[in-house]
């Protein structure tokens, strides 16, 4: 690799993160703050859109809401596993009963409450990447 001056330039690839949430303001906030923390953030509005993106592109980790219309977090986890997509998934939920062990049995590496501090989200994502 080089630049116009012929000097070798090496880039370190950033972690590609797919954020899946039906709430526009939350998607925008997560995109902004997680990009500032060094992630390459892509967003989807539901599990259907997320699956199309996961089949077309490479991602390192998924951060998904649990409760969404059309295809929710459970639907997304099931579709990912059925398609053989085994990247780590961290779930976000505002509903205590949705954080049960069934999400983990489907392959979620962690379930965080909504709202969660950005530091907690980042630490959890980093931990999920190193499993």
89 within a domain of the structure (yes/no): yes
Reduce the DSSP state of residue 106 to 3 states and report it. coil
Count of domains forming the chain: 1
The pLDDT assigned to 54 comes to 98
pTM: 0.88
The pLDDT assigned to 101 comes to 79
Give ∠ CA 1-11-27 in degrees, rounded to 5.
Answer: 140
6 within a domain of the structure (yes/no): no
The pLDDT assigned to 115 comes to 86
Residues of the chain where predicted confidence (pLDDT) is lower than 70:
1-12, 96-100
Q: What is the DSSP letter of 110?
A: E
The pLDDT assigned to 105 comes to 85
Distance CA 113, CA 59 (A): 23
Write out the residue range of the structural domain in which residue 89 sits.
16-129
CATH code: domain of residue 115: 3.40.50.2300
What confidence tens digit (pLDDT) does each residue in 66-96 have?
999 999 999 999 999 999 999 999 999 887 6
The pLDDT assigned to 4 comes to 58
The pLDDT assigned to 13 comes to 73
User: Which pair of structure tokens corresponds to residue 6?
Assistant: 């012929």
């Amino acid at each position: 690799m080089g630049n116009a001056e012929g000097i070798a330039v090496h880039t370190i690839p950033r972690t590609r993160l797919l954020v899946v949430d039906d709430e526009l303001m939350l998607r925008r906030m997560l995109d902004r703050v997680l990009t500032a923390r060094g992630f390459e953030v892509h967003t989807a509005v539901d599990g259907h859109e997320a699956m199309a993106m996961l089949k077309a592109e490479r991602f390192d980790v998924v951060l998904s809401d649990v409760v969404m219309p059309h295809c929710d977090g459970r639907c997304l986890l099931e579709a990912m596993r059925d398609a053989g997509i085994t990247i780590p998934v961290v779930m976000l939920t505002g509903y205590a009963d949705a954080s049960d062990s069934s999400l983990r049995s489907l392959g979620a590496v962690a379930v965080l409450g909504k709202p969660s501090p950005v530091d907690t989200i980042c630490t959890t994502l980093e931990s999920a990447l190193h499993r």
